[in-house]
Amino acid sequence: MRAQLLVVSLLLLTQTASAQSRERVEPQLRRTPPAAPRTTTGRWTSVTVEGTRGRFMTRARGGPSQDRVDIAFVAEGYTRSEQADFVSHCERVMRLFESRPPYSTYSKLFNIHYVFFPSTESGIGRTKAKNTVFGAHFNKNWSFSTGITGDRAKIQRFVTAALPGDCEADRIAVVCNDWRSGGTSWGKISFSTRKGFWANIPYVSPEWPLEDTVAHELGHSVGGLSDEYTSGGRDYDHAKVLNYIKTWPSPNVTSFNPLPTSAVPWQSFAKKNEVPWAHWIEPASRVPSKGPAVGLYLGALYSSDWAYRPSKKCAMKSSGSAPFCAPCQEGLILRFHAFSKPTRFESTFEGDELVLRIHSVLPQWTRRHRARSRFPDALWERIQWTWTKKNGVYTGAEARIPLSLIPERALVLEVDVVSNDPAVRKRESTLQGADFVLRRPPSRANATGRDDGITGALRRQ
C-alpha cells in the first residue's frame, strides 16, 4: 500500500486542455531567426528578492518561454551549505525528462529552471513551519493522510522575480529537503519531498525517490489528473466523489449515479454513461474491469467503492514509479500542447518565390490545408509541401510558390497541423493553425502594378 504515502493531492484546474491556436502569418522580406535566449543554460545567476540573496539557473531550454512549458524547481528547507544537495536532487528529477514517458517523449516542449533561496534551518516543519525560506510544513502531525503546504504567495513572488523577464513559470515544483515522504499539488504549485521512506521507519523500507513523487505531482499540476488511489486515510463517500468529479473533472477518474451492482458489458454501459476515456476502452470489456486492458476499474479518488479509474496500475495510483496509463499519458500530452506551441509558422519572399514554412519540434505531424477563398487553379496546384526528415522523423515542411502565380489581391491559405502521436487519440485538441497570407512583396506589386492574368476555372477547397 505504498499508494497511501502519496498524501493529499488537491487539484485545481486552471486551464482547459485545448491548444487550438491560430495565427495570421504575413510574408516577411527576410527570414527572422528565432529569438536568442537571455540566459545561458546550466549557469547560476545571483538574484536578490525582498532582501534575500539567492540564485537561479536555466537547466534545460526547449525554446522561447511563451512557446514552452516552463517548470521552476524551487528549493525549500535547504541551508546555504546544502545548495549542492538541492542540485543533485533536481538532477534526479531530470531523469523524468530522459526516460519517463510522456515527459521524456515531449522533453523538447519544456524549459526547466532551478531556483535556490537558502533557508536558515534544514528540512521542513512537521506540524508547523520551521525557519525556512517558504515556511513549508506537513499539514498536521505527520501521518499518511497529511499534505504539505507553505507560503504559496511568497513562492510565486520569488519565482517571478528570480526568473529573467522573458521567462514565466507555468508550473512551480517545490523540492522540500525532508526525508519524510509526501507530495501535494495546489494547482500551479506543488510540493514534493526529496526522498521518501515507508512510513517513518527507513531501515525496513524501500526508498521512494523524489522523481517518482514529482512525476505524480506534475501529473496533477501539469496534467490536470486526479488521484487513482483509494485511501490516504479519508475515504470519500459517493456524494463526495460525485461532487469532486463535478467540481474538478479530469481525464482519469469518474463515477456514476447509480453504480452498476454487477458486471455489465461495456457496450451497453457506454450507451447510458459518458466516460472521459471511452475512446481507449476495448468493445469486449466489462464494467467493472478485471484487466489488463484499459477499462473501468473500481477504486479511485480515496474511495474503494465509488469511483472508477482507467487502469490497474498507473503513476497516479502508486508512488509514481509505475508508468502512466494510456488516458493519463494522453491527458498530460494534451496539456503539454495547451501550455506550448510546438509548431512555428513562417513565410518569406525569396527571389521570385514566396516560401511558406512549418517548423515543429515534435515528430510525426500531419498537416492539411484549405483555401479560404477561390484560388486560381495554377496557384492551387503549385502549393506542394516538401517535408524535412531528421533522424527518420518529420520536423517541418516547406512550400515554394512562384510570385507570378499570386494574384493582385491577397489570398489566405489555412494550414492546420495536428499531432500524429499514437498516444493521442483526441487529435483535435493538439491543433495549431496558421492563416498564411499569400501576397506579392510590396515593392514588386507597386512596380508591376498589373494583374498577371491568371485565368481558368476557380475552385474552392
Grid coordinates representing 18?
485545448
Residue 333 found at the interface with Zn ion (CB under 5 A)? no
CA distance 339 to 218: 13
Candidates 50-58, 202-210, 314-322, 368-376; binding stretch for Zn ion (CB under 5 A)? 314-322
Grid coordinates representing 375?
484560388
DSSP label of 428: G
The candidate with the shortest Cα–Cα distance to 209, out of 315, 51, 57, is 315
Among 316, 356, 411, 434, indicate the residue that binds Zn ion (CB under 5 A).
316
Q: How far apart are CB 240 and Zn ion at their closest, in Å? A: 20
Q: How far apart are CB 10 and Zn ion at their closest, in Å? A: 18
Q: How far apart are CB 316 and Zn ion at their closest, in Å? A: 4
The candidate with the shortest Cα–Cα distance to 17, out of 412, 335, 384, 459, is 335
Residue 325 found at the interface with Zn ion (CB under 5 A)? yes
State which residue, 328 or 411, has the beta carbon closest to Zn ion.
328
Question: Binding mask 231-260 vs Zn ion (x if CB under 5 A, - otherwise)?
Answer: ---------------------x--------
- Radius of gyration from C-alpha coordinates of the chain: 26
What is residue 388's three-state secondary structure?
strand
Total Cβ atoms within 10 A of residue 15: 13
Q: How far apart are CB 364 and Zn ion at their closest, in Å? A: 23
Cβ–Cβ under 8 Å, residues 177 and 124? yes
Candidates 95-103, 128-136, 175-183, 315-323; binding stretch for Zn ion (CB under 5 A)? 315-323
Q: How far apart are CB 109 and Zn ion at their closest, in Å? A: 20
Total Cβ atoms within 10 A of residue 229: 26
State which residue, 175 or 222, has the beta carbon closest to Zn ion.
222
Contacts of 279 (CB under 8 A, 6+ apart): 425, 426
Cβ–Cβ under 8 Å, residues 259 and 330? no
Q: How far apart are CB 6 and Zn ion at their closest, in Å? A: 13
Among 133, 148, 214, 328, indicate the residue that binds Zn ion (CB under 5 A).
328
- The residues pairing with 128 across neighbouring beta strands, listed in sequence order, are none
Beta strand pairing call for 264-265 and 286-287: antiparallel
Residue 413 found at the interface with Zn ion (CB under 5 A)? no
State yes or no: cis peptide before 288, omega within 30 of 0.
yes
CA distance 108 to 112: 11
State which residue, 290 or 372, has the beta carbon closest to Zn ion.
290
Candidates 92-100, 307-315, 361-369, 402-410; binding stretch for Zn ion (CB under 5 A)? 307-315
State which residue, 65 or 252, has the beta carbon closest to Zn ion.
252
| Residues 375-404 close enough to bind Zn ion by CB under 5 A | none
Q: How far apart are CB 104 and Zn ion at their closest, in Å? A: 17
Cβ–Cβ under 8 Å, residues 30 and 350? no
Q: How far apart are CB 375 and Zn ion at their closest, in Å? A: 46
State which residue, 56 or 302, has the beta carbon closest to Zn ion.
302
Q: How far apart are CB 203 and Zn ion at their closest, in Å? A: 32
Residue 275 found at the interface with Zn ion (CB under 5 A)? no
State which residue, 4 or 388, has the beta carbon closest to Zn ion.
4
Cβ–Cβ under 8 Å, residues 119 and 133? yes
DSSP label of 280: G
Candidates 28-36, 156-164, 178-186, 312-320; binding stretch for Zn ion (CB under 5 A)? 312-320
**Which residue number has the CB closest to Zn ion?**
314
State which residue, 93 or 325, has the beta carbon closest to Zn ion.
325
Candidates 25-33, 121-129, 324-332, 403-411; binding stretch for Zn ion (CB under 5 A)? 324-332
Candidates 234-242, 306-314, 362-370, 440-448; binding stretch for Zn ion (CB under 5 A)? 306-314
Total Cβ atoms within 10 A of residue 36: 6
| Residues 277-296 close enough to bind Zn ion by CB under 5 A | none
CA distance 206 to 347: 55
Cβ–Cβ under 8 Å, residues 138 and 146? yes
CA distance 69 to 48: 25
Q: How far apart are CB 253 and Zn ion at their closest, in Å? A: 9
Residue 314 found at the interface with Zn ion (CB under 5 A)? yes
DSSP label of 235: -
Q: How far apart are CB 17 and Zn ion at their closest, in Å? A: 15
State which residue, 314 or 354, has the beta carbon closest to Zn ion.
314
CA distance 315 to 323: 6
Instruction: Give residues in contact with Zn ion (CB under 5 A).
Output: 252, 314, 316, 325, 328
